Structure 1
């Protein structure tokens, strides 16, 4: 059995992305939840994060609530990549979601799993005190894959 040798010829622009500036947005500055991405991207970032070797990301926001506790705590920062086509969802992964269902609007961070109900998704919290909930897939107005999180353990 012979071993093939592969040679790579990098182009002028091929270089490893060691660090990128990721805009950190304030959720408080968002007027509504229906068009979360447009509202986030229309606002000025409150800061920028630079984290080495992070995959390409679109932004970061602070976590509010305890549905993903203890994995994510209120005040942690999540870094996300916007999902432009809901059909490309990676089942079982964590997403930042904006959902409008029966006149109620939610912005949440959950694991997204396939539902037993056709045309629905099951949103699952890490916190065992929060029950899984099924939503129609068309009620998802915005989805962003959570790529990383940052926790600050000391304020001084």
Structure 2
């Protein structure tokens, strides 16, 4: 993940914390009166200004500068001074109350690569989580991990590079037909919509991109299942 991608995640985090209502609002807090100028920076059309990360971190004292620069650690730092960085005008009391619970502060989600997912599902969960970058995203409460969408088979629902939150389910789960799942198969990790098959021992795997054909797979060939609970879209 690049520094710019981490910056975009920080923008989403600041919005979810009530620092601003949207990306344009964050831009104004950073001193960008022109929406187009801020958009060019965020979309990589111009380089990040030298002081951009410092200004971004100044919007909330819990933003982890080291994570933005290197990817080491978490998006937010956990300390007793968490609330110092809130903007009073945009302060959201319910969000603040949510984060003052220590158990919530410590609930971070590991970002796991498709390759690491194979080991993760094989039982090496703890070692994979320890080595993965971790994120604290309040709206994904109850999810187990994050993965990056690769390819365009689920476009326009998900774009290549989007990050989806997943909740792990048991193999004997009751499927919610037409929902998007992350499934581990002998051919690798797939992010697909699962639909009912005419054969009770199979499920139908469907892509939202009509250029990709649907296919069926035996339920017995599903090595692991997780339902998608949210998405971070990289614009």
Q: Which residues in structure 2 correspond to 1:11-50 (within 5 Å)?
A: 20-28=107-115, 30=116, 33=118, 36=121, 38-39=123-124, 41-43=126-128, 44-50=130-136
Tell me the secondary structure at the aligned position of residue 38 of structure 1: coil
Partner of 1:148: 230
Partner of 1:97: 183
Tell me the secondary structure at the aligned position of residue 87 of structure 1: coil
Partner of 1:5: none
Q: Greater relative contact order (Cα 8 A, min sep 6): structure 1 or 2?
A: 1
TM-score (norm 1): 0.73
Structure 1 outlier segments of 4+, above 6 Å? none
Deviations 1:28-62 (A, max 9, x none): 4x2x8486363555313432222223340100011
Conservation of the 8 A alpha-carbon contact between 2:152 and 2:158: yes
Q: Which residues in structure 2 correspond to 1:42-81 (within 5 Å)?
A: 42-43=127-128, 44-81=130-167
Partner of 2:190: 108
Tell me the secondary structure at the aligned position of residue 65 of structure 1: coil
Q: Specify whether residues 150 and 45 from structure 1 end up closer, same or farther in structure 2 by C-alpha distance, changes over 3 A only.
A: farther
Deviating more after overlay: 81-90 vs 91-100: 81-90
Unaligned runs of 5+ in 2: 1-96
Tell me the secondary structure at the aligned position of residue 123 of structure 2: helix
Deviating more after overlay: 53-62 vs 121-130: 53-62
Aligned length: 132
Conservation of the 8 A alpha-carbon contact between 1:35 and 1:141: no
Conservation of the 8 A alpha-carbon contact between 1:35 and 1:142: no
TM-score (norm 2): 0.50
- Return the structure number with greater helix share: 2
Q: Specify whether residues 92 and 34 from structure 1 end up closer, same or farther in structure 2 by C-alpha distance, changes over 3 A only.
A: farther
- Return the structure number with greater strand share: 1
Whichever of the two has the greater Rg, that structure is 2
The alignment yields a C-alpha RMSD, in angstroms, of: 2.3
Q: Specify whether residues 140 and 35 from structure 1 end up closer, same or farther in structure 2 by C-alpha distance, changes over 3 A only.
A: farther
CA distance in 2, matches of 1:80, 1:110: 13
Unaligned runs of 5+ in 1: 1-15
CA distance in 1, matches of 2:198, 2:211: 22
